[in-house]
Amino acid sequence: MSSFTPSLDRLIEQFAKLPSVGKKSAQRLAFHILSMTDAEANAFTETINKARSSIKRCEICCNLTDTKVCTICSSQSRDKSVICVVEDPRDVIAIERTHEYNGLYHVLHGAISPMNDINPEDICIKELLTRLNDDVKEVIMATNPTVEGEATSMYISKLIKHLGVRVSRLAYGVPVGADLEYADEFTLIRAIEGRKDL
Ligand code: ZN
Protein backbone atom coordinates (compact mmCIF):
# COMPACT_ATOMS: atom_id res chain seq x y z
CA MET A 1 0.00 0.00 0.00
CA SER A 2 1.18 3.48 -0.85
CA SER A 3 1.76 5.98 1.91
CA PHE A 4 0.86 8.89 -0.38
CA THR A 5 -2.49 10.54 -0.72
CA PRO A 6 -4.65 9.19 -3.63
CA SER A 7 -4.18 12.26 -5.89
CA LEU A 8 -0.43 12.02 -5.52
CA ASP A 9 -0.52 8.28 -6.19
CA ARG A 10 -2.40 8.95 -9.41
CA LEU A 11 0.10 11.60 -10.48
CA ILE A 12 2.99 9.18 -9.81
CA GLU A 13 1.17 6.48 -11.77
CA GLN A 14 0.84 8.79 -14.78
CA PHE A 15 4.55 9.55 -14.80
CA ALA A 16 5.39 5.87 -14.36
CA LYS A 17 3.55 5.19 -17.65
CA LEU A 18 6.09 7.30 -19.57
CA PRO A 19 8.87 5.43 -21.40
CA SER A 20 12.10 4.94 -19.42
CA VAL A 21 10.55 6.30 -16.21
CA GLY A 22 10.76 3.94 -13.24
CA LYS A 23 8.89 4.17 -9.95
CA LYS A 24 11.56 6.31 -8.23
CA SER A 25 11.81 8.78 -11.13
CA ALA A 26 8.01 8.96 -11.30
CA GLN A 27 7.92 9.98 -7.65
CA ARG A 28 10.62 12.59 -8.18
CA LEU A 29 8.76 14.09 -11.17
CA ALA A 30 5.44 14.12 -9.29
CA PHE A 31 7.00 15.95 -6.33
CA HIS A 32 8.65 18.37 -8.73
CA ILE A 33 5.25 19.19 -10.26
CA LEU A 34 3.85 19.86 -6.78
CA SER A 35 6.72 22.20 -5.98
CA MET A 36 6.06 24.33 -9.06
CA THR A 37 4.34 27.70 -8.81
CA ASP A 38 0.80 27.84 -10.27
CA ALA A 39 2.14 29.83 -13.21
CA GLU A 40 4.84 27.24 -13.95
CA ALA A 41 2.40 24.34 -13.67
CA ASN A 42 -0.13 26.08 -15.92
CA ALA A 43 2.53 26.84 -18.52
CA PHE A 44 3.55 23.18 -18.45
CA THR A 45 0.04 21.80 -18.96
CA GLU A 46 -0.72 24.43 -21.60
CA THR A 47 2.40 23.45 -23.53
CA ILE A 48 1.34 19.80 -23.50
CA ASN A 49 -2.21 20.65 -24.61
CA LYS A 50 -1.02 23.03 -27.32
CA ALA A 51 1.50 20.53 -28.69
CA ARG A 52 -1.16 17.84 -28.80
CA SER A 53 -3.71 20.05 -30.55
CA SER A 54 -1.44 21.88 -33.00
CA ILE A 55 0.99 19.17 -34.10
CA LYS A 56 -0.33 17.19 -37.03
CA ARG A 57 0.98 15.19 -39.98
CA CYS A 58 2.39 17.02 -42.99
CA GLU A 59 -0.04 16.67 -45.92
CA ILE A 60 2.81 15.53 -48.14
CA CYS A 61 5.38 13.52 -46.16
CA CYS A 62 3.38 12.64 -42.99
CA ASN A 63 6.14 14.03 -40.74
CA LEU A 64 4.96 15.92 -37.66
CA THR A 65 4.44 19.64 -38.21
CA ASP A 66 2.62 22.70 -36.88
CA THR A 67 1.69 23.77 -40.41
CA LYS A 68 -0.19 22.08 -43.28
CA VAL A 69 3.06 21.33 -45.08
CA CYS A 70 6.30 20.83 -43.14
CA THR A 71 9.41 22.99 -43.55
CA ILE A 72 11.32 20.28 -45.44
CA CYS A 73 8.55 19.71 -48.01
CA SER A 74 8.06 23.46 -48.51
CA SER A 75 11.80 24.21 -48.79
CA GLN A 76 13.01 25.40 -52.22
CA SER A 77 16.54 24.11 -51.62
CA ARG A 78 15.71 20.42 -51.12
CA ASP A 79 16.25 17.90 -53.91
CA LYS A 80 12.72 16.83 -54.83
CA SER A 81 13.91 13.89 -56.93
CA VAL A 82 14.81 11.75 -53.89
CA ILE A 83 12.51 10.53 -51.11
CA CYS A 84 13.93 8.86 -48.02
CA VAL A 85 11.37 6.57 -46.37
CA VAL A 86 11.60 6.18 -42.58
CA GLU A 87 9.44 4.57 -39.90
CA ASP A 88 9.40 7.35 -37.34
CA PRO A 89 9.66 11.18 -37.20
CA ARG A 90 12.71 10.76 -34.93
CA ASP A 91 14.52 9.04 -37.81
CA VAL A 92 14.14 12.24 -39.87
CA ILE A 93 15.89 14.16 -37.10
CA ALA A 94 18.65 11.52 -36.94
CA ILE A 95 19.32 11.73 -40.70
CA GLU A 96 19.08 15.54 -40.75
CA ARG A 97 21.83 15.61 -38.10
CA THR A 98 24.25 14.06 -40.59
CA HIS A 99 23.90 17.08 -42.98
CA GLU A 100 24.61 14.55 -45.76
CA TYR A 101 21.14 14.28 -47.20
CA ASN A 102 19.28 17.01 -49.04
CA GLY A 103 16.29 15.16 -50.44
CA LEU A 104 12.76 14.80 -49.11
CA TYR A 105 11.38 12.32 -46.57
CA HIS A 106 8.37 10.14 -46.12
CA VAL A 107 7.38 9.00 -42.61
CA LEU A 108 5.49 5.70 -42.47
CA HIS A 109 4.59 5.90 -38.76
CA GLY A 110 5.41 2.27 -38.15
CA ALA A 111 6.40 -0.88 -39.99
CA ILE A 112 4.43 -3.83 -41.28
CA SER A 113 4.20 -6.45 -38.54
CA PRO A 114 1.71 -9.30 -38.94
CA MET A 115 2.65 -10.49 -35.42
CA ASN A 116 1.34 -7.22 -33.96
CA ASP A 117 -1.51 -6.99 -36.45
CA ILE A 118 0.03 -4.00 -38.27
CA ASN A 119 -0.85 -4.29 -41.95
CA PRO A 120 0.26 -2.20 -44.95
CA GLU A 121 -2.90 -0.09 -44.76
CA ASP A 122 -2.13 0.81 -41.12
CA ILE A 123 1.00 2.78 -42.03
CA CYS A 124 1.45 5.68 -44.50
CA ILE A 125 2.23 3.66 -47.64
CA LYS A 126 -0.61 4.94 -49.83
CA GLU A 127 0.46 8.52 -49.07
CA LEU A 128 3.92 7.60 -50.39
CA LEU A 129 2.50 6.09 -53.58
CA THR A 130 0.58 9.28 -54.40
CA ARG A 131 3.87 11.22 -54.29
CA LEU A 132 5.59 9.16 -56.98
CA ASN A 133 5.30 11.47 -59.97
CA ASP A 134 7.80 12.03 -62.82
CA ASP A 135 9.98 14.26 -60.63
CA VAL A 136 10.86 11.42 -58.25
CA LYS A 137 13.88 9.46 -59.47
CA GLU A 138 14.86 7.55 -56.34
CA VAL A 139 13.30 6.22 -53.16
CA ILE A 140 15.73 5.36 -50.36
CA MET A 141 14.31 2.79 -47.96
CA ALA A 142 15.61 3.78 -44.52
CA THR A 143 13.37 1.63 -42.38
CA ASN A 144 14.99 0.05 -39.30
CA PRO A 145 17.25 -3.00 -39.88
CA THR A 146 14.80 -5.26 -38.05
CA VAL A 147 12.60 -8.05 -39.37
CA GLU A 148 9.64 -5.64 -39.59
CA GLY A 149 11.72 -2.89 -41.18
CA GLU A 150 13.14 -5.27 -43.80
CA ALA A 151 9.69 -6.69 -44.60
CA THR A 152 8.27 -3.18 -44.99
CA SER A 153 11.16 -2.18 -47.22
CA MET A 154 10.67 -5.23 -49.48
CA TYR A 155 6.91 -4.70 -49.63
CA ILE A 156 7.23 -1.06 -50.72
CA SER A 157 10.02 -1.78 -53.16
CA LYS A 158 7.87 -4.39 -54.91
CA LEU A 159 5.04 -1.86 -55.20
CA ILE A 160 7.08 0.95 -56.74
CA LYS A 161 9.90 -0.71 -58.67
CA HIS A 162 7.86 -1.20 -61.84
CA LEU A 163 7.16 2.55 -61.93
CA GLY A 164 10.72 3.10 -63.11
CA VAL A 165 11.81 4.67 -59.83
CA ARG A 166 15.18 3.57 -58.44
CA VAL A 167 14.70 1.94 -55.04
CA SER A 168 17.68 1.69 -52.69
CA ARG A 169 18.15 0.53 -49.11
CA LEU A 170 20.46 1.74 -46.34
CA ALA A 171 23.14 -0.93 -46.49
CA TYR A 172 25.85 -1.15 -43.86
CA GLY A 173 26.78 0.89 -40.85
CA VAL A 174 23.51 0.69 -38.99
CA PRO A 175 23.70 -2.15 -36.47
CA VAL A 176 21.21 -4.94 -37.10
CA GLY A 177 18.42 -5.06 -34.55
CA ALA A 178 18.95 -1.45 -33.46
CA ASP A 179 16.71 1.56 -33.93
CA LEU A 180 17.80 4.09 -36.54
CA GLU A 181 17.26 7.03 -34.21
CA TYR A 182 20.05 5.82 -31.91
CA ALA A 183 22.71 5.57 -34.61
CA ASP A 184 25.46 8.20 -34.52
CA GLU A 185 26.05 10.56 -37.47
CA PHE A 186 29.05 8.68 -38.89
CA THR A 187 27.25 5.38 -38.83
CA LEU A 188 24.36 6.97 -40.67
CA ILE A 189 26.64 8.70 -43.20
CA ARG A 190 28.21 5.33 -44.09
CA ALA A 191 24.80 3.77 -44.31
CA ILE A 192 23.54 6.46 -46.69
CA GLU A 193 26.68 6.28 -48.87
CA GLY A 194 26.53 2.48 -48.95
CA ARG A 195 22.88 2.15 -49.93
CA LYS A 196 22.22 -0.30 -52.74
CA ASP A 197 19.50 -1.10 -55.24
CA LEU A 198 16.76 -3.50 -54.19
ZN1 ZN B 1 6.44 17.26 -45.24
For the chain, what are the domain ranges? Answer: 6-54, 64-192
pLDDT reported for residue 172: 62
**What Rg, from alpha-carbon coordinates, does the chain have?**
20
CA 41 – ligand 1 centroid, Å:
33
Please tell me the distance between residue 108's alpha carbon and the centre of ligand 1 in angstroms. Answer: 12
Q: Among 141, 128, 139, which Cα is nearest to 171's?
A: 141
Tens-place pLDDT, residues 38-92: 999 999 999 999 999 999 999 999 999 999 999 999 999 999 999 999 999 999 9
Which fold is adopted by the domain 6-54?
Helicase, Ruva Protein; domain 3 (1.10.8)
pLDDT at 2: 65
DSSP SS3 for 79: strand
What pLDDT, on the 0 to 100 scale, is given for residue 192? Answer: 82
Contacts 24+ apart (CB under 8 A), 34-38: 34/8
Q: List the CATH code of the domain at 64-192.
A: 3.40.1360.10
What span, in angstroms and rounded, lies between the C-alpha atoms of 131 and 197?
A: 20
Q: Determine the distance separating the centroid of ligand 1 and the alpha carbon of 187, expressed in angstroms.
A: 25
This prediction has a pTM of: 0.77
How far is the centre of ligand 1, averaged over its atoms, from the C-alpha of 97 (Å)? 17
CA–centroid distance, 98 to ligand 1, in Å, is 19
CA of 90 to the centre of ligand 1 (A): 14
